[in-house]
Amino acid sequence: MATKKTKSSIRPLRPGSGWTYAPAPESAAIARIDEQYELFIDGKWQKPSGGSYFDSINPANEKKLYRAALANEKDVEKAVTAARKAFDKYWKKMPPAERGKYIFRVARLMQEQARELSIMETLDGGKPIRESRDFDVPMACNHFFYYAGWADKLEYAFPNRTPKPIGVAAQITPWNFPLLMAAWKIAPALATGNTIVLKPAETTSLTTLKLASIIQEADLPPGVVNIITGAGNTGAALVRHPGINKIAFTGSTAVGKLIQQETASSNKKLTLELGGKAANIIFSDAPIDQAVEGVVNGIFFNQGHVCCAGSRVYVQESIAPIFLQKLKDRMATLLVGDPMDKNTDIGAINSAEQLEKINYYIRLGKKEGSLHYENTATLPKKGFYCRPTLFTKVAQSSRLAQEEIFGPVLAILTFRTEDEVIEKANNTPYGLSAGVWTDKGSRIFNMSKRLKAGVVWANSYNLFDPTSPFGGYKESGYGREGGLHGLSPYVTF
Amino acid sequence: MKKPQNRISVLKTYKLYIGGQFPRTESGRSIAALDAKGNKIANLCMASRKDGREAIVAARAALGGWNQRAANNRGQILYRIAEMLEARKDQFIAELQLQGLSRVAALAETNGAIDRWIYYAGWCDKYQALFSTVNPVASSHYNFSVCEPMGVVTIFAPTSPLLGLTSVLAPCLAGGNTAVVIADEKRSLCAISLAEVLNSSDVPGGVVNILTGSKAELLPWLAEHRDVNALVYTERDPATLSSLRTRATGNLKRVIHWPYTNWSLNKAQSPHLIMDLQEIKTTWHPIQQITGSGASY
């Protein structure tokens, strides 16, 4: 009887209802953060030619963390020239096995400094230390380790073809997984013999700059990897530079389209990893408690700043009431607050700007008449925070169900039949990922085949691995990162 | 005036090929197909933007059925195309000669096309095994990546009127995509005759749609249409390529450039061309861990 209210005799585990957590902060002391960072060009730290710097704050408390150099067109020119020189002089001539050994060395040095990288990532970006420590950093290390091994085996990856490096790769990374995205970009590009100019997002340069010092420590030939910091203008100058042969961009669909237009008349090879609005589909026979965990992980992992976030849940009508109740109960237990606390589930929103965007969508959802529910956590006074939020009574055409919010905001929709949910799930310009929860194996494979998405998680969500290709269909971009297929964007024949 | 013959030969009307039918262009316009000396051979349909839209609708409707067909069955159909082409070889040779090719060149063009259909017929159920992967992820999951067709592909056909056309169409179909083809402007008779072959080879209606007319006129509409997944361009004009890439950004169509100059070479056929029109889809599935049992079977 779906209409009957189920009343649990077990007291929900909820902060403030008797059970409390003592603070368990990670120490920030081991992160050696400089007051000021320069540009990493040609193996040296170089001052920006315009002499300007920009501040980066800790979004958890709004305190200034460091300042980074603002690269202008002259700096881009220097970096591209250094990368070209390194390509011609060292990197393309080096025996591939030796190239691989450099990359292995980077992986090892990162592992040795893993905790410092995790702390830096959390301080700079606001994500919970539990995630940076257990996910971002180890995954980034493994990515280098994985692609290092490919360097001298590339001819096996392309049957009957001889892969060659493309040349100088321009890489632009987003702020949601700064170090991991740098690893996704740098590791395959180096393994295939390209040299690099990489620009991290302006709110989160820290771990990429730390990675530059690790690359320096690994003694890579100068200019093979160049890191320049700055905002959109720096990125635009990099994309436009005629000395670039390849562009790899991760970010918003709008900017991705601009880059495709900008480079239309050039022969720069382009790969784009863009936005998403993934459907997470719960059938009535799903293991419901696992599905609730999966939905929570799907949308609240990294504050929802995930391009493949499961931001639309489609739950089969017959189990919608019980599913919703269990989901709300689970959401109520989520700890929102200090990202450096080891118990924190939801950390700080990356920037004031992003918080405003999320709040805009929450106001919009309320205005459109969708039902709003949020966790009741007390938010810290300083810093950018957002409670885990869900909306029910969301129309398929609602902007909450169509647009990428990039925050901890979940839209819940319902369905009756398999055909209906496939139609609804695919009814978006995006096609990055999807989730399917059901006990029936044949249904999983049918759904997996018919969902237009680059990654499908069955009875699971938000899983990543260096060996597993990731990337989208449709307006979520093109090209794959990870695995054997992740080599193709960086080779020519 | 020539002396009247005993029997008047029946001339062929060249029409478009959309959704398995041979309609005239809705615009009622025509362009002249010319022989090598500039004499008119036939009136060809000058397809309009609306014909293009109809073709895309037909290609979209046919996509599900085509890509869900057994790979083996797609292979049989591609092989059947070769059989039908072989049977009508003389017609194609004559048509190519009429359009200015020498007898030797026409024969090579036709034989090359037949063999190319057979080459790709054989790939239909094999490229998946070469390019799909099972990925050894660190967690307890079964993880695999498979190839899937991009969907509706618009092809701006090469100037090689039969072999070139076949060389771009066959990998597209072998991979389970459906196509809207804009035939080469100068020599498009063979494209429409090929449609007749496709129509009698169990290729479902809508899987291939062929338009004749002005490439320059059709290109902007087809490149911007939001229900097309990929564009294939085969010439070397940088301005056209740039225009295609720019116009494709609306829905981020994949723009594939195959600038082969000689389609008769062996290197102009490859499973990598099939892969250029494929997406990679990765599926994760948990593997049960029976912890505590201590068994190591």
Given a cut of 50, whether residue A1 has pLDDT beyond it is no
CB atoms B280 and A261 under 8 Å: no
The CA-atom distances, in angstroms, between B83 and each of B52, B105, B111, B170, B210 are 29, 21, 11, 14, 20
A471 interfacial to chain B (CB closer than 8 Å): yes
Residue B236 within any structural domain of the chain:
yes
The CA-atom distances, in angstroms, between B9 and each of A87, B6, B42, B153 are 67, 10, 14, 38
Tally of domains within chain B:
1
Residue B111 has a CB neighbour count (10 Å cut-off) of 17
Residue B134 within any structural domain of the chain:
yes
Given a cut of 80, whether residue A180 has pLDDT beyond it is yes
Q: Quote the CA–CA distance of A139 and A145 in Å, as a whole number.
A: 10
**Domain co-membership, A425 together with A398:** yes
CATH code of residue B172:
3.40.605.10
Residue A3 within any structural domain of the chain:
no
Is A439:A395 a contact under the CB 8 Å cutoff? no
**Domain co-membership, A249 together with A344:** no
**Domain co-membership, A269 together with A352:** no
Q: Annotated catalytic, A308?
A: no
89-148 in chain A: CB under 8 A from chain B? 142
The string over A216-251, giving b where at least 16 C-beta atoms fall within 10 Å of a residue's C-beta and e elsewhere, is bebebbbbbbbbbbbeeebbbbbbbbeebbbbbbbb
**Domain co-membership, A256 together with A283:** no
Taking residues A84-106, report their average pLDDT. 97
% chain A with pLDDT above 90: 95
CB atoms B133 and A483 under 8 Å: yes
Quick one: CA dihedral A388, A254, A239, A147, positive or negative? positive
| Radius of gyration of chain A measured on its C-alpha atoms | 23
Residue A463 within any structural domain of the chain:
no
Q: How far is A197 from chain B (nearest CA, A)?
A: 24
In chain B, which residue's Cα lies nearest the Cα of A432? Answer: B281
Q: Is B42 left (phi over 0), alpha (psi -120 to 50) or beta?
A: beta
Tally of domains within chain A:
2
Is A189:A135 a contact under the CB 8 Å cutoff? no
All residues of chain A having their beta carbon less than 8 Å from the beta carbon of residue B177 are none
pTM of the model: 0.95
Q: Quote the CA–CA distance of A471 and B252 in Å, as a whole number.
A: 14
Q: Which of B283, B288, B289 to mutate to test the interface with A (most CBs of A within 10 A)?
A: B283
DSSP symbol at A89: I
Given a cut of 60, whether residue B91 has pLDDT beyond it is yes
Residue A28 within any structural domain of the chain:
no
In chain A, which residue's Cα lies nearest the Cα of B139? Answer: A465
SS3 of A111-155: HHCHHHHHHHHHHHHCCCHHHHHHHHHHHHHHHHHHHHCCCCCHH
**Domain co-membership, A246 together with A309:** no
Q: Among A233, A235, A148, A244, which Cα is nearest to A195's?
A: A244
Q: Which of A26, A121, A131, A307 is catalytic?
A: A307
Q: How far is B282 from chain A (nearest CA, A)?
A: 5
The CA-atom distances, in angstroms, between A194 and each of A94, A169, B206 are 11, 7, 43
| Radius of gyration of chain B measured on its C-alpha atoms | 22
Q: What is the pLDDT of residues B98-129, one digit of tens each?
A: 999 999 999 999 999 999 999 999 999 999 99
All residues of chain B having their beta carbon less than 8 Å from the beta carbon of residue A265 are 238-239, 241-242, 245
Predicted interface score ipTM higher than 0.90:
yes
Look at residue B289 in the predicted model and tell me its pLDDT. 77
Look at residue A16 in the predicted model and tell me its pLDDT. 56
Given a cut of 90, whether residue A174 has pLDDT beyond it is yes
A453 interfacial to chain B (CB closer than 8 Å): yes
**Domain co-membership, A305 together with A350:** yes
All residues of chain B having their beta carbon less than 8 Å from the beta carbon of residue A260 are 245-246, 248-249, 252
All residues of chain B having their beta carbon less than 8 Å from the beta carbon of residue A444 are 285
**Domain co-membership, A157 together with A294:** no
Is B129 exposed, middle or buried, given 0-12, 13-18 or 19+ CB atoms closer than 10 A? Answer: exposed
Residue B160 within any structural domain of the chain:
yes
Is A38:A69 a contact under the CB 8 Å cutoff? yes
Q: Annotated catalytic, A418?
A: no
Taking residues B213-230, report their average pLDDT. 96
Instruction: Report the run of H or E that residue B85 belongs to, with start and end.
Output: helix B71-87
Q: Which of B130, B253, B281 to mutate to test the interface with A (most CBs of A within 10 A)?
A: B281
Taking residues A231-245, report their average pLDDT. 97
Given a cut of 90, whether residue A13 has pLDDT beyond it is no
Pairing of strands A312-316, B30-34: unpaired
CATH code of residue A289:
3.40.309.10
Quick one: CA dihedral B53, B54, B57, B59, positive or negative? negative
CB atoms A468 and B251 under 8 Å: no
Given a cut of 90, whether residue B189 has pLDDT beyond it is yes
Q: How far is B284 from chain A (nearest CA, A)?
A: 5
Q: How far is B70 from chain A (nearest CA, A)?
A: 14
CB atoms A458 and B135 under 8 Å: no
Q: Quote the CA–CA distance of B139 and A147 in Å, as a whole number.
A: 18
Residue A90 within any structural domain of the chain:
yes
Taking residues A25-39, report their average pLDDT. 96
Indicate the SS3 state at residue A398.
coil
Residue B179 within any structural domain of the chain:
yes
Look at residue A20 in the predicted model and tell me its pLDDT. 74
CB atoms A448 and B283 under 8 Å: yes
Residue B291 within any structural domain of the chain:
no
Q: How far is B166 from chain A (nearest CA, A)?
A: 22
**Domain co-membership, A317 together with A242:** no
Of A161, A477, A480, the CB nearest to B280: A480
Look at residue A18 in the predicted model and tell me its pLDDT. 62
Of B133, B137, B254, the CB nearest to A465: B137
CB atoms A467 and B143 under 8 Å: yes
| Domain extent at residue B225 | 30-284
Give chain B's contact residues with A (Cβ, < 8 Å): 130, 133, 135-139, 141, 143, 145, 148, 229, 238-239, 241-243, 245-246, 248-252, 254, 270-272, 279-286
In chain B, which residue's Cα lies nearest the Cα of A458? Answer: B285
Residue A468 within any structural domain of the chain:
no
CA neighbours closer than 13 Å in the CB half-sphere of residue A354: 26
Is A2 exposed, middle or buried, given 0-12, 13-18 or 19+ CB atoms closer than 10 A? Answer: exposed
In chain B, which residue's Cα lies nearest the Cα of A480? Answer: B280
CB atoms A485 and B133 under 8 Å: yes
CB atoms A460 and B242 under 8 Å: no
Indicate the SS3 state at residue B20.
coil
All residues of chain A having their beta carbon less than 8 Å from the beta carbon of residue B286 are 458-460
Q: Quote the CA–CA distance of B124 and A160 in Å, as a whole number.
A: 18
**Domain co-membership, A289 together with A363:** yes
Given a cut of 60, whether residue A10 has pLDDT beyond it is no
The CA-atom distances, in angstroms, between A214 and each of A85, A119, B42 are 21, 16, 70
**Domain co-membership, A303 together with A441:** yes
| Band of residue B9 on the pLDDT scale cut at 50, 70, 90 | confident
Q: How far is A67 from chain B (nearest CA, A)?
A: 36
Pairing of strands A195-199, A168-172: parallel
Look at residue A267 in the predicted model and tell me its pLDDT. 93
Quick one: CA dihedral A372, A378, A382, A388, positive or negative? negative
Phi–psi pair at B43, nearest 5 degrees: -95, 120
Given a cut of 90, whether residue A5 has pLDDT beyond it is no
| Band of residue B1 on the pLDDT scale cut at 50, 70, 90 | low
Q: Among A245, A132, A151, which Cα is nearest to A191's?
A: A151
Is B212:B46 a contact under the CB 8 Å cutoff? yes
**Domain co-membership, A284 together with A264:** no
CB atoms B135 and A469 under 8 Å: yes
| Band of residue B2 on the pLDDT scale cut at 50, 70, 90 | low
Q: What is the pLDDT of residues B265-283, one digit of tens each?
A: 999 999 999 999 999 999 9
- Dig out the tokens for A425 from the structure: 């799930």
Q: Quote the CA–CA distance of A458 and A87 in Å, as a whole number.
A: 42
Q: How far is A275 from chain B (nearest CA, A)?
A: 12
**Domain co-membership, A120 together with A228:** yes
Q: Among A441, A401, A391, A421, which Cα is nearest to A318's?
A: A421
CATH code of residue A217:
3.40.605.10
Q: Quote the CA–CA distance of B228 and B248 in Å, as a whole number.
A: 9
| Domain extent at residue A450 | 279-458
Residue A147 within any structural domain of the chain:
yes
In chain A, which residue's Cα lies nearest the Cα of B254? Answer: A478
Look at residue A2 in the predicted model and tell me its pLDDT. 46
**Which long-range contacts (C-beta less than 8 Å, at least 24 apart) are formed by A91-95?**
A91/A165, A91/A193, A91/A194, A91/A195, A91/A221, A91/A224, A92/A165, A92/A193, A94/A193, A94/A221, A95/A152
CB atoms A454 and B279 under 8 Å: yes
In chain A, which residue's Cα lies nearest the Cα of B228? Answer: A474
- A420 CB-near residues (< 8 Å, 6+ apart): none
